Chain A
Amino acid sequence: QPLCGAGSCQPILVTDLLDRAAKVSHRLHALSTAASNDLNNHFAPALKLVMMRPLSLCHTSSLNTPEDKEQVLQLSQEDLLTMVALLLKSWGTPLLYLVKEAQELPHPANDALLWKMAELSQQTENLARGIDKILNKLDPTGFHSFSTDLISPWSGGPGLEMGSDKKSHLLNFHFLLSCFRRDSNKIDSFVKLLRCRAT
């Protein structure tokens, strides 16, 4: 039952939805950067080098995203939105894994990391719903040029260690968070570009 009287409810404009989406996408990247700093601040430089794993092993690398301005500007509004939706959906399960891992992470800042992971997980879900709403507004048929099986369901992915020792937990956490930080920067860039196009 809408709060406002019959007929007086104004439909939310796509520009407003994109503006809200941009605020959340900005927050996602800023938060993942802050979490990365929390994590890295306690590592000796030598360990940081060891932790560097090629982000080409991230589970979302199979999604062929643009890599420079020209490529991004060539994508249609719908393709960009669909790409954002795919990226967000692909992070649902891994972020829950990071929330669980943060609780027992052998790291002095694990409390702060837990709070941040919980917010990242929730805000990613919120943004995914918002982007779906925008996509449905723009394309009620629901058919999008990208199919969702472009990203294989997450089951740990190639970049993760199989070990369960302390170091493996830290390495896996660091690797996944680095992947998310990068993807959240892509998402933020795409959403802000969409917002600009819409105004």
Chain B
Amino acid sequence: GQTPPGRPVITECRSPEKETFTCWWVPGSSGGLTTKYSLHYKIDGSQENYECPDYKTGGQNSCYFNKSYTSVWNTYTITVIATNNLGSNISEPLYVDVAYIVQPHQPENITAEFTTLDQKPYLMVKWDPPKKADTKSGWMTLQYELRIKPEKGLIWENHFAGNQKQFNIYSLIPGEVYLVEVHCKPDHGYWSEWSHTTYVQIPHYMRVRD
């Protein structure tokens, strides 16, 4: 039969650049009726209750807070309410400070070039920070990690690159095709997804030794 809606659950809130953020939720049961969802929030100590400013930009079951709705170092108390004709249900509150939910987008423009220096062969991998992350002013400080494996290989070899945007890799197998990916992390926050894969073939003509 038809029932009031089940309890929604806020699954995650993330900010890609400490300037905006998005929250997502998972609906509970709909109770067999058309169910409407609304996200509400309060900010640190103020009793004023606001509703989500933008339900569209972040996709389904999400709320996007653009710059004018985002303030860092403040605690947002966030809840989602599910409502249908027979009643409503409210999620557990989620407490969010944008400073602690930063997960950047992936690095961009990854290039992998086989080259030599003083006849020593190596692979030079370069990349750019994610476009939206302001690393120039110092508002965001990113660290990078790169991984590489032969095309048919199963195990990735990881290399931590710190704040650099370039990394040189030695000891590769001539003739082999390699896959290279890079991801990044703010000083205090979450690793991004891995970048798109870059393929590079190591030429045959030169013998690569350890």
Are both chains from one complex? Answer: yes
> On chain B, which size bracket covers the interface?
20 to 34
A69 to B18, CA, bound (A): 8
**Contacts of A166-199 to chain B: CB distance below 8 A:** 182, 185-186, 188-189, 192-197
User: When chains A and B are docked, how far (Å) is the Cα of A193 from the Cα of B135?
Assistant: 9
- With CB as the reference atom, state the residue of chain A lying closest to B18: A69
Which of A49-57, A90-98, A109-117 forms part of the interface with chain B? A49-57
Query: Contact: A68 with B19, CB < 8 Å?
Result: yes
Give the interface SS of chain B, mostly helix, strand, loop or mixed: loop
Is A72 an interface position by the 8 A CB rule?
yes
Bound Cα distance from A17 to B39, whole angstroms: 45
B74: nearest residue on chain A (CB-CB)?
Answer: A67
For residue A103, CB closer than 8 A to chain B, the reply is: no
B73 touches A182 (CB 8 A): yes
Query: Is B141 located at the chain interface by the 8 A CB criterion?
Result: yes
> Is the C-beta of B166 less than 8 angstroms from some C-beta in chain A?
no
CB contact between A192 and one of B75, B95, B187 (< 8 Å): that residue:
B187
| CA–CA, A73 and B139, complex, Å | 9
Structural contact, A68 and B71, CB atoms closer than 8 A = yes
Residues of A within 8 A of B141 (CB): 192
Interface size class of A (residues with CB under 8 A): 20 to 34
B70 lies within 8 A of chain A by Cβ: yes
Return the chain B residue nearest A56 by Cβ. Answer: B45
Partner of A185 from B45, B93, B138, B188 at Cβ < 8 Å: B188
Selecting from A8-16, A26-34, A128-136, A145-153, the interface stretch reads: A26-34
Tell me the chain B residues, 139-155 only, with Cβ under 8 Å from chain A. Answer: 139, 141
Bound-state CA distance A185–B18 (Å) is 12
- Report yes or no: A193 in contact with B75, Cβ–Cβ below 8 A: no
Q: Say if the beta carbon of B108 comes within 8 Å of chain A.
A: no
Cβ of B45: which chain A residues have Cβ within 8 Å of it?
54-57
Distance of A4 Cα from B93 Cα, bound (Å)? 60
Say yes or no: is B136 at the interface (Cβ < 8 Å to chain A). yes
With A33-B188, A189-B139 already in contact, the answer to whether A69 and B134 are too (CB < 8 A) is yes
Say yes or no for A65: interface residue by CB 8 A criterion. yes
Complex Cα distance A83/B68, Å?
Answer: 24
Is B169 part of the contact surface with A, judged by Cβ < 8 Å? no
Measured in the bound complex, the distance between the Cα atoms of B96 and A182 in whole Å is: 12
A68 touches B75 (CB 8 A): no
* Per-position binary interface string of chain B over residues 104-144, scored 1 when its CB falls under 8 Å from any chain A CB and 0 otherwise: 00000000000000000000000000000010111101000
Q: A residues within 8 A CB of B72?
A: 67-68, 189
- Judge whether A182 and B138 touch: CB under 8 Å: no
Complex CA gap A6/B74 in Å reads 51
- B residues in contact with A186, CB < 8 Å: 73, 99
